[in-house]
Amino acid sequence: MVRRHNNQLPENLPQLQNLIKRDSVSYHEEFLQQYQHFQNTIEVFQLSPEQPNKTLDDLVMFMAQVAQCYPTELQNFPQQIIDLLRRHNTVLDNNMRMTFCRALILLRNKNLLAPTDLLELFFQLLRCQDKSLRTFLENHIVTDIKNLNAKHKNAKLNTTLQNFMFTMLKDTNTRAAKMSVDIMIELYKKNVWNDAKTVNVIATGCFSKITKVMVASLKFFLGKDPEEKDSDESDSENEVDPKEVMMANKVNKKTRKREKKLSKVKKLASKAYKKKSAAPVFNFSAIHLVHDPQGMAEKLFKQLESTNKRFEVKLMTLDVISRLIGLHNLFLFNYYPYIQRFMQPHQREVTRILQFVAQASHELVPPDVIEPVLKTLANNFITERNSSDVMAIGLNAVKEICARCPLAMDEDLLQDLAQYKSYRDRSVMMAARSLIQLFRNLRPDLLHKKDRGRPTEASEEIENIRYGKINAKDYVPGAEVLLEDNKEEFEINSESDSDDEQWINVEHSDDDVEESSDENEEEGIEDEEEQEEGEEATEESGVKENGKEINKKGRKVLKAKKKSENLEIKKDLAQKVTLDRILTDEDFKRIDTANIRKQMQGPKKGLKRKVEEIPTTQLSDLVKLSDIENIYKKRKHDKQTRIESVKKGQEDREKFGYKDGRMNEHCSKTNREKRKKKNFQMIRHKVKGKVKRSFKDKQIALRNHLLKLKKMK
């Protein structure tokens, strides 16, 4: 009779494993037999560890599967496997090494092995020349650390592992150092190790002599966290209601000027709503958690000057340095002359280099440091010997730099660049006009008078920018609009110390009334040139006050003094409203509506309100490359794109050609309608008769007709 070997327990380990898990006490003797066999196999295996041993593989996995059933007998089993891997990790067969690691992971999942012992061993195994093993170990390390910190942060374990990884970064083995950086980056992205210590450990990798480690660390600081999705994009409560602004247009006479003004108000309201409903723009990247950004930037720049790495690596280093300078407002004056050498139109990745210059600009950099950069841009890019795209990119770069450091621009250079507003190419023209619009809101005094645009309430309230000045407000700008009863009267609370506080009206002086009437006359002037001529004529004629003639200079001083007084009054009103009441959503809506209207209306003395911030000066932390490459021109499309555009335009459109005008589509058609669908050969003889005959054919036809009549007689 033939023996069935698959039922013999000593030889069938899977069956024995199943039985032991069901009843470990009954099969204790069989287990001891296999355990003794395992010990003997290990002694034989250590004589030649480089040779694969299938029997040992099976026994190791068997012991790992039943380890929880016999904890006393297998107490030293995990340490035996760890010792084998530490002693022979580089000479073991790949399959044998993978089996030992799987067995240890199985023991770790059963809490029969401490996590620190296993993770330190796996970090040492990263030196092995086995890519599949390194990937497997990396995934397990990340998953295990994530599970350990799932319910709560294990600070003690995390500190131990972070210190160990810090030593691994300095390892001479390239693979081990690179894998440790990748693990820390992956744990940071999974929000497991997202603390400052991890970030600063990775920051040391930027100075590693191993290129792969340095590049991985630099890419980590260049990455961004995914932006938060807007949870409520259609929130109509935050929308700026333009009805109050448009009410005057409904009752007044319809003119072309009022229609243009109304369309501008609608655009401003739509833009304000979109900006308010969008998620806040802030980059929560790891670069904010660096302990010593100034020291890191200086070390990176010193390393950049002496390196001979590839150009791509230099670009990444320049990018990280520019982000450090811009986000932390650092001073690294040697950075700007260094990057100035690469600011040429033919330079590779020149748009990214211009992006780095803009990112490294901030309001605390001395203007004389940034000024040579602007002149280099003007000389190398914004000249007519270059193409229109190069000129537009140069103007966009100047705009981004000046938006962050407006004091770097001087009057002569700005007025020269403003001349491109009427350039023949649209891309250059739009770039120059965007630069003019920026300085209208920042430093309009640098622009020529005709480029400052029509004066508005917002432009009248622009304060002079000074180096190092911080414009901090202790009130809600524009809150004085809540006290507005009529367009020329405010009701404010009495400032007296009496117990019965009453409301009083603020009366305007004769000067204010005279100025408001002058402003109303100026609002009627549609053309800017006519407005300038009117102002010059007024200035030449002079003004008389208290019987004394005031010249042009004295009139300007008087207007500036009155302007400052009015601004102080509005500031006091806004402070009083902010302190005396709790502002509601409706109050903020009124403030936003008034600010929008203020950007369109001319200045009115006594009714002006401050804007919290000009929209064009609200900058993000980082410069977008699309802002530098923003070229206004119609791009050429390929054939497939043109076909799709044509088909999209034909949707929901009536078909061209013959339209059947019958009231009943089932009734018959006329012969003329049927003739349109007939074959041409069927109506060829009729079409031929309609062709215009020549003079000779007419003569022949007339002769034949006359001969026919003669014969009939």
User: Can you give the CATH number for the domain in which 90 is found?
Assistant: 1.25.10
The count of domains in the chain is 2
515, pLDDT greater than 50? no
Q: Is residue 78 domain-shared with residue 218, that is, in the same domain? A: yes
Share of the chain above pLDDT 70, in %: 76
pLDDT in the model for residue 634: 63
Rounded Cα gap, residues 364 and 326, in angstroms = 10
- Confidence class of residue 624 from pLDDT cuts 50, 70 and 90? confident
Q: How far is CA 331 from CA 299, 352, 470, in A?
A: 13, 21, 18
- Confidence class of residue 599 from pLDDT cuts 50, 70 and 90? low
Q: Is the dihedral of CA 653, 659, 662, 666 positive or negative?
A: negative
In a domain, 396, yes or no: yes
pLDDT greater at residue 74 or residue 3: 74
pLDDT in the model for residue 688: 67
In a domain, 630, yes or no: no
544, pLDDT greater than 70? no
Q: Is residue 332 domain-shared with residue 213, that is, in the same domain? A: no
Task: Indicate the helix (H) or strand (E) that contains 623.
Answer: none
Q: Is residue 319 domain-shared with residue 213, that is, in the same domain? A: no
Q: Which domain range does residue 426 map to?
A: 290-462
pLDDT in the model for residue 246: 67
139: which residues sit within 8 A by CB, 6+ positions away?
none
Tell me the pLDDT tens digit for each residue of 657-666.
667 777 887 8
CB 113 within 8 A of CB 76: no
Q: Is residue 296 domain-shared with residue 205, that is, in the same domain? A: no
Q: Is residue 200 domain-shared with residue 295, that is, in the same domain? A: no
In a domain, 527, yes or no: no
- Confidence class of residue 411 from pLDDT cuts 50, 70 and 90? very high
350, pLDDT greater than 90? yes
- Pick from 456, 481, 504: nearest CA to 607: 481
Q: Is residue 209 domain-shared with residue 314, that is, in the same domain? A: no
- Confidence class of residue 383 from pLDDT cuts 50, 70 and 90? very high
Rounded Cα gap, residues 96 and 61, in angstroms = 11
Q: Is residue 218 domain-shared with residue 305, that is, in the same domain? A: no
Rounded Cα gap, residues 47 and 74, in angstroms = 23
pLDDT in the model for residue 556: 65
Q: Is residue 197 domain-shared with residue 307, that is, in the same domain? A: no
In a domain, 529, yes or no: no
Report DSSP state, residue 253. Answer: P
Instruction: Count other C-beta atoms under 10 Å from residue 189's C-beta.
Output: 16
Report, as an integer, the average pLDDT of 365-384: 94
Which amino acid, residue 571?
K
In a domain, 278, yes or no: no
Rounded Cα gap, residues 388 and 459, in angstroms = 31
Residue where a domain stops, chosen among 176, 206, 222:
222
Widest pairwise Cα distance in the chain: 144
Tell me the pLDDT tens digit for each residue of 660-699.
777 887 888 888 888 888 888 888 877 766 667 788 989 9
Helices vs. strands in the chain: H and E counts, helices first: 31, 4
Output the average pLDDT for the chain.
Answer: 78
pLDDT greater at residue 516 or residue 623: 623
Rounded Cα gap, residues 604 and 595, in angstroms = 14
Coil, helix or strand for 344? Answer: coil
- Confidence class of residue 651 from pLDDT cuts 50, 70 and 90? confident
In the block, tokens 């407005």 appear at 531
Residue where a domain stops, chosen among 462, 490, 518:
462
Rounded Cα gap, residues 493 and 581, in angstroms = 12
Most confident residue range from 239-243, 404-408, 654-658: 404-408
